[in-house]
Amino acid sequence: MTAPSVAPIPGAHPLAVDALLDDSSVEIIVCCGSGGVGKTTTAAAIGLRAAERGRRVVVLTIDPARRLAQAMGLAELDNTPRQVEDIDTTKGGRLDAMMLDMKRTFDDVVLAHTSPDKAREILENPFYIALSSSFAGTQEYMAMERLGQLHADASSNGDYDLIIVDTPPSRSALDFLDAPKRLSSFLDSRLLRLLSTPARGPIRLFSAGMGVVTGALTKLLGAQVLTDVQTFVAALDTTFGGFRQRAEDTYRLLQERRTAFLVVAAPEPDALREASYFVERLRDDRMPLAGLVLNRMEAPAAVHVSPERSLSAAEALAESGQHPVAAAVLRLHGERMTRAARERRLAERFASAHPGVSIATVPALSSDVHDLPGLRQIGTRLGGE
Ligand SMILES: Nc1ncnc2c1ncn2[C@@H]1O[C@H](COP(=O)(O)OP(=O)(O)OP(=O)(O)O)[C@@H](O)[C@H]1O
Ligand SMILES: [Mg+2]
């Protein structure tokens, strides 16, 4: 069953998603937002819609639900984009999709920027293995890294004219933008520098002191870990500048006019607060915001039956002990109408706080979105049909 559509939000400029997808000067669309709001679904849905409107698209997804991944023909983490079958290509478009393999991306960076010997030393280092698979922010950083690579490839071989980037399931949407800085300041941190500096140069002055520090750390972490860290940082020295340089390059790419950010939010206070922070941050960082996608909006049918009327009718029926099914339906309708009204108030408040931000709405579908028809339905709603 298709969900009824969501009425326009008063005071908000409707976001013209199709115009965005058809604009050939837009080469990158980044879908961000707080956890669980529908970033991956939105990224996949607009990827499909753009492809069926004639663009050559690659969607970089992160941790998609298994069934959604299957629907797009993705069987495993794989840094290589795979063509999605069963889409309408009559307008000359195509859709490729990939699931970010964080560790592979990290490994590729190391391999590309060091000698084979040094690369092996890094890749086998237990500290590197832990860092590359679990450091907070690594996923965000690697999503950016992979975006930079895809964009460079797309520019050189022309396979794609639109890259759509999903962002990791972090609590805060801002993590995506902060990760590169956090990773490089971690790599640059005093502790790592000190640990990795053999007693030479001015440090020698403090070597007695350093001995105490390393001694304490050895007790704390174990000698092996400390040696691992030292070897790792020493080996990473050569790639160091590279890491930071590329993070900066990609950050700049995100500021260019060919990039567009879509901030995805659920119509809930927390998600909208995050969306507000993010919108402000994009403005401060001069990154181009296309608009807000309000996903999973309650869209009750029979809107002419007010919540008050249906709830009081439900109560009357319940008291009479008759028609229990009708009473339940009326109560459900009353609750949905109440929720819809609350969501609209939140949306209106966001719109009045950010009058320049265009908004697209997507109704909550009756079930999860895990196949191409489901994605197409989301895309249709985004396109305002
Ligand atoms: N409009 C919608 N109607 C119904 N279900 C939806 C809708 N949008 C998303 N979903 C479902 O909600 C769940 C979360 O969506 P999704 O995985 O896209 O969110 P996310 O923001 O990527 O989450 P995470 O932060 O964990 O990566 C999925 O099961 C998806 O199918
Ligand atoms: Mg996701």
pLDDT bucket at 28, cuts 50 / 70 / 90: very high
Q: Which of 2, 171, 369 to mutate to test the pocket of ligand 1 (most atoms within 8 A of CB)?
A: 369
pLDDT of the residue at 235: 61
Dist. CA 62 → ligand 2 center (Å): 6
pLDDT of the residue at 200: 43
Per-residue pLDDT reduced to its tens digit, 333-381: 888 888 999 999 999 999 999 999 999 999 999 899 999 999 999 999 9
Among 29-38, 49-58, 107-116, 196-205, where is mean pLDDT lowest?
196-205
More confident residue, 327 or 343: 343
Q: Whose CA is nearest to atom 6 of ligand 1?
A: 368
Distance CA 323, CA 330 (A): 11
pLDDT of the residue at 264: 97
More confident residue, 259 or 187: 259
pLDDT reading at 204 higher than 50: no
Backbone angles phi, psi at 306, to 5 degrees: -70, 160
Q: Which atom of ligand 1 is nearest to the CA of 169?
A: 25
Dist. CA 277 → ligand 1 center (Å): 21
- The answer to whether the CB of 41 is under 6 A from ligand 1 is yes
Compute the average pLDDT of residues 253-265.
94
pLDDT reading at 157 higher than 90: no
- The answer to whether the CB of 210 is under 6 A from ligand 1 is no
More confident residue, 80 or 191: 80
- What ranges make up the beta strands (E) of 175-302? 259-265, 289-297
- The answer to whether the CB of 93 is under 6 A from ligand 1 is no
Contact 360, 382 (CB under 8 A): yes
pLDDT of the residue at 248: 80
**Average pLDDT value for the chain:** 82
pLDDT reading at 241 higher than 70: no
Per-residue pLDDT reduced to its tens digit, 217-235: 566 556 666 666 666 666 6
Q: How far is CA 165 from the centre of its chain?
A: 7
- The answer to whether the CB of 38 is under 6 A from ligand 1 is yes
pLDDT reading at 167 higher than 50: yes
CA distances from 222 to 97, 199, 215, 226, 229 (A): 43, 20, 10, 7, 11
Q: How many residues does the chain have?
A: 385
Compute the average pLDDT of residues 230-243.
62
More confident residue, 173 or 363: 363
pLDDT reading at 207 higher than 50: no
- The answer to whether the CB of 381 is under 6 A from ligand 1 is no
**Domains of the chain in sequence order:** 17-382 (3.40.50.300)
Dist. CA 43 → ligand 2 center (Å): 9
